[in-house]
Amino acid sequence: MATEIVMPESGESVASGVLTTWLKKSGDFVQRDEPIAEVDTDKITVEISSPAAGVLTQSVTEGDEVKIGAVLGVVDDSAKAPASGAASKTASATGNGRSESAAPSTATAPSAPAPATPAASGKGMSVASAESARDSIEDVRATPVARKLAAEHNVDLAGIKGTGINDRIRENDVLAFVQQRDRGAASATPTPVRPSSSQTSRGVTRERMTPLRQKIASRLVEAQHTAAMLTTFNECDMSAVMDLRKSHKESFEKKHGIGLGFMSFFVKAAVNALRTFPMVNSYIVADDEGRPAIEKHEYCDIAVAVSSPKGLVVPVIRNAEQLTFAGVELAVKDLGTRARDGKLGIEEMQGGTFTITNGGIFGSLMSTPILNPPQSAILGMHAIKNRAIEHPAGSGHATIRPMMYLALSYDHRIIDGSEAVRFLVSIKEAIEDPAKLLLDL
């Protein structure tokens, strides 16, 4: 009897995805609930598990778009599992074009000295060594694209740590390994060789946009087309926060098990400002009769923009107004790590009443962040640079201070300019005098 493998629902707004990787091949025996495929949607990577134990038959190929409810393949649950310990050996032998009977028997074969390994002479490996290496590579969990890249660049997958689901090695992991290896080789070369014209490449490649990248593109265009978006700028002196972190960094980490970063200060400062200026924490929506209305929120769900291998994701810290500094830092670290590993749930990226993005970690000095619909505002943090400013204020004396530019993009349909400016000033004052955050002022 065959059991169908169906593309599951992945959220209210998700209608389809792209099957990026088959983790098992047609003809493989799979166990019930064993991961057999990965599907990328416009929000998350979905891991498909086998609905039954049996032999897998694929119905779609890697790269195909699949709708919710579509049949990806079937599992013949009438097939019996292979004998314990024989499945992987048989599959490996079949895949390498060798039958089990063709292998020499260790019980009857006469003993013979092992052939010398020619690796030292640079003439390659023996057949047995090559087959052993090939079998070990096949045992590593990696996507087909990653295996192809590894073969092209002569990379041993066993030495790479995967960042995919269940630590599966992806193409980005292989490329990062190759780049690091090449940089090390380049630094060890005394005189670089200038490439000749025959070595240069003018090739062009095209690759399909992932569902996540397509979703990012559509939302950014939506924000530009629907909102009356403006950006106001300010700058803040980071001295007080940096001194506070320096004084209490070790004790904070010892007590809470997490480092004290800048993001917790900005999240707490944003929460205080959102309470003072509730319109910044609001949406423009349609009422029951389809007329424009303003939806206000008594809670502060702060979305934090995170760069992942597949694109920008914005997981949400729920009820940030109830969290301590340690709670914020733990939430940021957890969401950031799982975003980069592709392990976020779809519910963790929905909602959010205000967004914070930090371009400073990439070296950005100033930018105009784009709104995250349906939110009405987004705060942009930037790189900290030593600059000459008047300090103390009104003294007429210039002093070198660590400064950060802040940017607040907002929807002018719902937020007035004066309100946006005062909101940003509130954040600036809280960062320059962190005691206000501790005293809830």
Active site residues: 412, 416
**Interatomic CA distance for residues 51 and 38, integer angstroms:** 15
- Counts for the chain of helices (H) and strands (E), in that order: 10, 19
Q: Please, which contacts does 248-254 make with residues 24 or more away whose CB atoms are closer than 8 Å? A: 252/325, 252/326
CA angle (377, 379, 384) in 5-degree steps: 170
**Interatomic CA distance for residues 427 and 437, integer angstroms:** 10
**Interatomic CA distance for residues 356 and 274, integer angstroms:** 13
Nearest to residue 379, comparing CAs of 438, 339, 323, 320? 320
**Interatomic CA distance for residues 180 and 56, integer angstroms:** 38
| Pairing relationship of beta strands 354-358 and 377-381 according to DSSP bridges | parallel
Nearest to residue 330, comparing CAs of 252, 438, 435, 245? 252
HEC readout, 266-310 = HHHHHHHHHHHCHHHHCEEEECCCCCEEEECCCCCCEEECEEECC
| DSSP 8-state code for residue 74 | E
Six-digit token string for 357: 């993005």
What is the amino acid identity at position 292?
P
**Which distant-in-sequence residues (6+ apart) come within 8 Å of 49 by Cβ?**
33, 34, 35, 36
The region that residue 396 occupies, defined by phi over 0 for left and psi between -120 and 50 for alpha, beta otherwise, is: left
Block residue for tokens 């962040």: 369
- Tell whether the torsion through CA atoms of 407, 412, 414 and 415 is positive or negative: positive
Six-digit token string for 283: 């949406």
**Which distant-in-sequence residues (6+ apart) come within 8 Å of 297 by Cβ?**
278, 281, 282, 283, 353
